[in-house]
Copies of this chain bind each other. A is one copy, B any other.
């Protein structure tokens, strides 16, 4: 069995949070270590760490840092400090539900505690448990998805739903890794994914490092590649899947789904249960609009004239009718998703 990408994207180390600095990739593999929750919030906002599952764990660890640093002598005081940190962390990015899920999970442990000491320990323990769970969940999800893949397939993805979007192993790329581990030949077609280039910078980095066969394309070449019959399957991650089966994921996912449908190619989001949001339907989700700088500059170089207005939606929404099936750690969900999603979550 191949020894895939064993680095941890986010890890708890000696009471601090250690992360791969994803803004430095693919040029440089470097780590940052944070001892304060506002540093974690800034890292999420600036995409030092990104990817729905990874920011869920990072935010939980941010609350754990607040618990460590709090000088509170009494429980209500500690809880106020934790609620402050949680509010700050929740405000970083609106679309991926895992962020809220991660914070809610550690906060629930804190609320159940009966002493300051117990709350501190419970929060740190829960955050570390989430770190371990993430890799285990992705391996299960990967194994479930790998059964769909035939030997020799080319999988088109979008953005990075890999080890770097999670603690390790990945969701969409976890499926690819599991298929390769099971002895299948799989090739990955990687759109660069402007504006933040997570495909070119991160997915390409992971796959080259793991010696998984891959080809980088511009985002403009997705339709052309599908029209030439060069794609057998589309597998992407997800930032939020609502109870009515709508998939919110990195901008560009929706157009891949439309194009896949036109060419009769199956389209699968791959996501853990923590990405499913039973509390919301598709019209209740905020799509983050990010700054113009990401579009008018690439790695610091200006590519557009000064004064040009920009729209920079970071995510889009794929309706359930374009989804073939959804890959989760509990199995592969078939339509109708408004029935199979509540069953998954029960």
Write the chain B residue with the least CB distance to A25: B305
Check if A222 is an interface residue, CB within 8 A of chain B: yes
Check if A298 is an interface residue, CB within 8 A of chain B: yes
**Do A299 and B301 touch (CB < 8 A)?**
yes
> Would you give the 0/1 interface string for A245-260, flagging 1 where the beta carbon is closer than 8 Å to chain B?
0000011101100110
Residue among B250, B305, B317 making CB contact with A26, cutoff 8 Å: B305
Check if A109 is an interface residue, CB within 8 A of chain B: no
Tell me the A residues contacting B by CB distance below 8 Å. Answer: 26-27, 191-195, 197, 200-201, 204-205, 208-209, 214-225, 227, 250-252, 254-255, 258-259, 262, 295-296, 298-305, 307-313, 316-317
**Do A220 and B251 touch (CB < 8 A)?**
yes
Question: In the assembled complex, how far is the CB of residue A234 from the closest CB belonging to chain B, in whole angstroms?
Answer: 13
**Do B302 and A215 touch (CB < 8 A)?**
no
Q: Which residues of B contact A304 (CB under 8 A)?
A: 26, 192, 200-201, 204, 216
Write the chain B residue with the least CB distance to A251: B220
The copy count of this chain in the complex is 2
With A197-B303, A316-B223 known as contacts, the answer to whether A295 contacts B254 (CB < 8 A) is: no
**Do B219 and A310 touch (CB < 8 A)?**
no
Q: CA separation between A302 and B216, bound complex, in Å? A: 13
Question: In the assembled complex, how far is the CB of residue A108 from the closest CB belonging to chain B, in whole angstroms?
Answer: 35
Question: In the assembled complex, how far is the CB of residue A199 from the closest CB belonging to chain B, in whole angstroms?
Answer: 9
**Do A219 and B218 touch (CB < 8 A)?**
yes
Would you mind naming 20 contact pairs between A and B with Cβ atoms under 8 Å apart?
A26-B304, A194-B219, A204-B305, A215-B308, A216-B295, A216-B310, A216-B311, A217-B312, A218-B251, A218-B312, A220-B251, A221-B251, A223-B258, A223-B316, A224-B255, A224-B316, A224-B317, A255-B255, A255-B259, A298-B299
With A215-B309, A308-B204, A311-B215 known as contacts, the answer to whether A252 contacts B221 (CB < 8 A) is: yes
Q: Which residues of B contact A197 (CB under 8 A)?
A: 303
Q: CA separation between A297 and B209, bound complex, in Å? A: 19
Residue among B204, B220, B225, B298 making CB contact with A219, cutoff 8 Å: B220
Q: Which residues of B contact A224 (CB under 8 A)?
A: 251, 254-255, 313, 316-317
Q: CA separation between A220 and B311, bound complex, in Å? A: 11
Q: CA separation between A250 and B301, bound complex, in Å? A: 23
Residue in A254, A304, A308 whose Cβ sees the most chain B Cβ within 10 Å: A304
Question: In the assembled complex, how far is the CB of residue A121 from the closest CB belonging to chain B, in whole angstroms?
Answer: 41
Contacts A204-B304, A209-B305, A255-B259 known; list 17 others, CB within 8 Å: A26-B302, A194-B219, A195-B218, A201-B303, A215-B309, A216-B311, A217-B310, A218-B251, A218-B252, A220-B250, A221-B313, A221-B316, A223-B254, A223-B255, A224-B251, A298-B298, A298-B301
**Do B308 and A214 touch (CB < 8 A)?**
yes
Q: CA separation between A309 and B214, bound complex, in Å? A: 7
Residue among B27, B307, B311 making CB contact with A221, cutoff 8 Å: B311
Q: Which residues of B contact A219 (CB under 8 A)?
A: 194, 218-220, 252
Q: CA separation between A9 and B308, bound complex, in Å? A: 22
